[in-house]
A and B are shown apart, each in its own frame.
Chain A
């Protein structure tokens, strides 16, 4: 599991720019991952969300948590590694605090249920130790391996 911590995020995630929402994986156990993303402020979406009042869109916070969830799923077994996971369901996600430029979001994802190819994952996002978003998501593993 430790090899995940030392690898480039592009070797772990199937996503590519501009849709990589994790900078690094901080911790990984079977079915559990902690990862982080620095929100620099020069991201394109801040131009419109909102002009002069930059707040990270909630859907992108969900994406941060979903990508972390995908990595958590990929730790479950060898054949899950490198798989593509689609966000299939967002269950009762709350956005507790706004995320502004300069924040580092720490995402935690714990796989709580599995019925392959479906995986239910408990997710949270934190900034400076305070929860900014939390909920459950369902990810579906793409069948037939990597594209």
Chain B
């Protein structure tokens, strides 16, 4: 996948997060490497993980099967994009 397409995928993922968890900050304000959870993060809590897992499957057709994988994937926009690309073979 080219850089432009990957950048667009990042934006798509950010929009998905904002919509899924009704985040109060706009998608364009989310940095690719900013943690999703924790005090340094964009403000998601553990229950939001469920909403992101659901949205990820709905919008991108990829499933995070369990929390073990979730701990690796639900880290930042960057890790989510990496997971989508791996699953999609991109």
Alpha-carbon gap, A129 to B67, bound state (A): 39
Q: Which residues of A contact B50 (CB under 8 A)?
A: 113, 115, 118, 120, 138
Do A118 and B66 touch (CB < 8 A)? no
Interface membership of chain A positions 111-135, coded 1 if the CB is closer than 8 angstroms to chain B and 0 otherwise = 0010111101000000000000000
Q: How large is the interface on A (under 10, 10 to 19, 20 to 34, 35 or more residues)?
A: 10 to 19
Q: How large is the interface on B (under 10, 10 to 19, 20 to 34, 35 or more residues)?
A: 10 to 19
B54 at the interface (CB under 8 A from A): yes
B11 CB, min distance to chain A CBs, angstroms: 24
A88 at the interface (CB under 8 A from B): yes
Q: Which residues of B contact A117 (CB under 8 A)?
A: 67
Q: Is the interface of B mostly helix, strand, loop or mixed?
A: helix
A98 CB, min distance to chain B CBs, angstroms: 30
Most B Cβ at <10 Å: residue of A88, A117, A118, A138: A118
Do B47 and A116 touch (CB < 8 A)? no
Partner pick for A138 among B47, B64, B67, CB 8 A cutoff: B47
10 A-B pairs within 8 Å (CB atoms) are namely: A88-B47, A113-B50, A115-B64, A115-B66, A115-B70, A116-B67, A117-B67, A118-B46, A118-B47, A138-B50
Known: A113-B53, A113-B54, A118-B49. 20 other contacts (CB 8 A): A88-B47, A89-B47, A113-B50, A115-B49, A115-B50, A115-B53, A115-B54, A115-B66, A115-B67, A115-B70, A116-B66, A116-B67, A117-B67, A118-B46, A118-B47, A118-B50, A120-B50, A120-B54, A138-B47, A138-B50
Binding site for A on B (CB under 8 A): 46-47, 49-50, 53-54, 64, 66-67, 70
Binding site for B on A (CB under 8 A): 88-89, 113, 115-118, 120, 138, 140
